[in-house]
Amino acid sequence: MHRFLLVTLSCLVAAAVVMGVTALIARRLGKVSVVDIAWGLVFVVIAWVCTFFSPGARSLLLAVLVTVWGVRLAWHIRRRALGADEDPRYEKLLSAAPPEKRFGYAVRRVFVVQGLAAWVVSLPLQVAAAAGAKPLGWVAALGVALFVVGVGFEAIGDAQLARFKSDPANKGKIMDRGLWAWTRHPNYFGDAAVWWGLWVISAEVWPAVLTVFSPVIMTYFLAFATGARLLESEMSKRPGYSEYMQRTSMFFPRPPRQSA
């Protein structure tokens, strides 16, 4: 228990530092949306803090995998947001606060919340680190395979969408090709698969299996709370999107339904 408290409190401090620095950068730039870039990176920092306390094969594997996922995600979001205005989601959120109090409001409602969320979601890594260095087995191999599937869905889906948007002939059209023909949100599904894979790797050692609520929470938010559902509340207003919804799975991939 003492070891776990040391690991988890250190990870909490690490998350607070990353989000604190991000909040200062956001204030300087006048864009709260920079927190989206930090989202992947805060997990990278947490994973390496775990490795510091448990420099075994499992923690090292988890840190490397999280770094691959987090750095790719941060780079993708940075490139997508470069030169763009504030995200409408954050504009709507900050509109509830007076102009002179918006930074403090953003700190409480965005940076603190996301820092705590990252700490909770990363609990499988923390518990695995606290359990000490133990050999990797076939269960960890299954977790790596699931992680690879998740990163593949994210990276390929993002690349397909970026290529689609770069073609002027597709302006105003709905992206329904490639992975986007199998699921309306391959990036969100991939993100969920990544964290289920990391949990499987962690769950090979007791009592990390008990942290199953972490990938469940991540999947819930990606599919039903702040992820796919929130995005679709806006996308459903676009011409042709209702037909796309009828033939394409919302989250879990499956072959598209044939049009009548």
Instruction: Answer yes or no: are the C-beta atoms of 196 and 219 closer than 8 Å.
Output: yes
What is d(CA 227, CA 219) in angstroms, rounded to the nearest whole number?
A: 9
- Reading the block at residue 105, the tokens are 């409001």
Identify any residues that bridge with 249 across adjacent strands, giving them in sequence order: 183
Structure tokens at 209: 């299996």
The residue ranges of every structural domain in the chain are 1-132, 135-260
pLDDT at res. 213: 96
Which tokens in the block code for residue 147?
A: 């992680």
User: What pLDDT, on a 0 to 100 scale, did the predictor assign at position 146?
Assistant: 98
For each of the chain's 260 residues, which pLDDT tens digit applies?
Answer: 788 999 999 999 999 999 999 999 999 998 999 999 999 999 999 999 999 998 899 999 999 999 999 999 999 999 887 777 777 878 888 888 888 888 999 999 999 999 999 999 999 999 999 987 788 999 999 999 999 999 999 999 999 999 999 999 998 889 999 999 999 999 999 999 999 999 999 999 999 999 999 999 999 989 887 777 778 877 878 888 888 988 999 999 999 887 54
Largest CA distance in the chain: 62
Query: pLDDT value at position 260?
Result: 46
The confidence score (pLDDT) of residue 1 equals 72
Can you say how many angstroms the Cα of residue 65 is from the centroid of all Cα atoms in its chain?
A: 13
d(CA 97, CA 30): 15
d(CA 47, CA 78): 21
So what's the pLDDT on residue 259?
56
For residues 46 and 130, the answer to whether their CB atoms sit within 8 Å is: no
What pLDDT score was predicted for residue 80?
81
The pLDDT tens digits for 144-159 are 999 999 999 999 999 9
Peptide bond between residue 207 and the one before it cis (omega within 30 degrees of 0): yes
pLDDT per residue as tens digits for the range 77-123:
998 877 777 778 788 888 888 888 889 999 999 999 999 999 999 99
The amino acid occupying position 26 is A
